């Protein structure tokens, strides 16, 4: 059984994951509108991953006897200064999510909720991978100044990414 405090915080995270999905879908549209269809595909895969993360929280809350509370999703940005700006925003967003997950783990430890600690450990590992992947892409985009033949090649590579369900 979840404590009320942890139930509240897990619900906040569930809703944060839904916002993340919404943000990445908005970025996908922006990239597609700018003829970067490979990067648009990459963001759609991010969208699907974030939805899966939200559903993982959804199921966990219910499995632990909690009540799921869905909130209104804030409208995400729809405009960026270019591909580098998009990925700088992605990195900042993922770093924020990492902080939220770390906070959840702290609460789970305080509440002595070992099941929640175990569940959240998956998200800690996931965030390490998310930040590393985005950092690498951002570094590559900066190397090519976000344009030219290098951008064309990266865009083609990003089109190969596929969603793999959790």
pLDDT digits (tens, 9 = 90+) for 5-18: 999 999 999 999 99
Q: How far is 23 from 162, CA to CA, in rounded Å?
A: 19
pTM: 0.96
Q: How far is 58 from 26, CA to CA, in rounded Å?
A: 23
Domains of the chain plus CATH, in order, are 4-71+80-158 (1.20.1260.10)
pLDDT digits (tens, 9 = 90+) for 55-64: 999 999 999 9
pLDDT digits (tens, 9 = 90+) for 24-40: 999 999 999 999 999 99
Tell the residue number behind the tokens 């100044």, with chain if given: 145
**Which DSSP state fits 22?**
H
Tell the residue number behind the tokens 């924020």, with chain if given: 96
Q: How far is 95 from 1, CA to CA, in rounded Å?
A: 30
pLDDT digits (tens, 9 = 90+) for 61-88: 999 999 999 999 999 999 999 999 999 9
C-alpha distance from residue 140 to each of 145, 155, 164 (Å): 9, 12, 24
């Amino acid at each position: 059984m979840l404590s009320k405090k942890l139930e509240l915080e897990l619900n906040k995270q569930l809703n944060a994951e839904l916002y993340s999905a919404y943000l990445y879908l908005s970025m996908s549209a922006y990239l597609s509108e700018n003829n970067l269809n490979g990067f648009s595909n990459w963001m759609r895969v991010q969208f699907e991953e974030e939805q899966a993360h939200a559903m993982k929280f959804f199921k966990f809350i219910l499995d632990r006897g909690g009540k799921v509370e869905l909130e209104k999703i804030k409208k995400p940005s729809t405009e960026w200064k270019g591909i580098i700006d998009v990925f700088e925003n992605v990195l900042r967003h993922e770093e924020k999510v990492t902080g939220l997950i770390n906070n959840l783990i702290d609460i789970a430890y305080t509440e002595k909720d070992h099941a929640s600690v175990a569940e959240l450990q998956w998200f800690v590992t996931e965030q390490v991978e998310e930040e590393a992947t985005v950092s690498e892409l951002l570094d590559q985009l900066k190397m090519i100044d976000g344009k030219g033949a290098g951008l064309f090649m990266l865009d083609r590579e990003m089109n190969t990414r596929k969603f793999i369900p959790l």
